[in-house]
Amino acid sequence: MRPGGDSSVPEVTLVLSPPDADKTWETVDRLAHTVARQAGVMVRTDTEHGREVHLVDAEGVTVRYARLDGDTMIVTTGEAGIDGFTGGGAKLVSSDAYRRAADDVGLDDRTGGFFYLDIDGLVPLLETVVGEPLPADDRAAVEKLDAFILEASRTADGSTLSGFLRLND
């Protein structure tokens, strides 16, 4: 788990490669401007590593969004979320916990979307939020849970949502 820009908020990243990227980009941008307006802030534009990035700072959380190429866009709360996704280094797909969970739901390289949560990795975050170590019983209960993954897929007959909760041994 990587912390977001605010250490009390974990990184949440959404990467999209939709069929109509221009329309989706307009929707993401319109939504960001709506959220900014309702929070009484402005959408800022900055350049990070040569890439135009839009930022919304609201309620102590910064959301960054950018178009990575003609077909792909990213929205993230992570200060290094965009660079982490586009640059070298360790990736989520190389994590053993993620790989096991993805295999359990049959997540392929191409998906309609997925949600992954490293549950036992939340212990440090929970302790930061609470401001003290979790009681031993609570820590033990959370650490029994490894990961949770949901995967969406589309077929000719409709959509399917598959999920799996992995327990630690």
Q: Is residue 139 part of a domain?
A: yes
| Mean pLDDT value across the chain | 84
Give the CA count within 13 Å in the CB-facing half-sphere of 148. Answer: 10
The helix (run of H) or strand (run of E) holding residue 63 is strand 61-67
Statement to judge: residues 80 and 147 lie in one domain: no
Which tokens is 54 given?
């839009």
Statement to judge: residues 100 and 141 lie in one domain: yes
| Percent residues over pLDDT 70 in the chain | 92
Q: What is the pTM of this model?
A: 0.71
Longest pairwise C-alpha distance within the chain: 50
Residue 37 structural domain: 13-86
Among 15-19, 20-24, 159-163, name the one with the lowest average pLDDT: 159-163
- Above 60 in pLDDT, residue 3? no
- Of the three residues 40, 69, 86, the one that is the final residue of a domain is 86
Statement to judge: residues 21 and 73 lie in one domain: yes
Statement to judge: residues 102 and 56 lie in one domain: no
Higher pLDDT, 73 or 99: 73
Statement to judge: residues 106 and 162 lie in one domain: yes
Statement to judge: residues 21 and 82 lie in one domain: yes
SS3 115: strand
Statement to judge: residues 79 and 97 lie in one domain: no
Q: Is residue 7 part of a domain?
A: no
- Above 70 in pLDDT, residue 110? no
* Domains of the chain: total: 2
Statement to judge: residues 68 and 125 lie in one domain: no
Query: Which residues in 82-118 are b (16+ Cβ under 10 Å) and which e?
Result: bebbeeeeeeeeebebbeebbebbebeeeeeebebbb
What does the pLDDT look like over 122-156, one tens digit per residue?
777 777 777 888 889 988 888 888 888 888 777 78
Cβ atoms < 10 Å from Cβ of 54: 19
* pLDDT bucket at 28, cuts 50 / 70 / 90: very high
* pLDDT bucket at 42, cuts 50 / 70 / 90: very high
Statement to judge: residues 97 and 82 lie in one domain: no
Q: Is residue 35 part of a domain?
A: yes
Query: Which residues in 136-162 are b (16+ Cβ under 10 Å) and which e?
Result: eeeeeeeeebbbebbbebeeeeeeeee
Sign of the CA dihedral running 105, 109, 113, 116:
positive
CA distance 50 to 10: 25
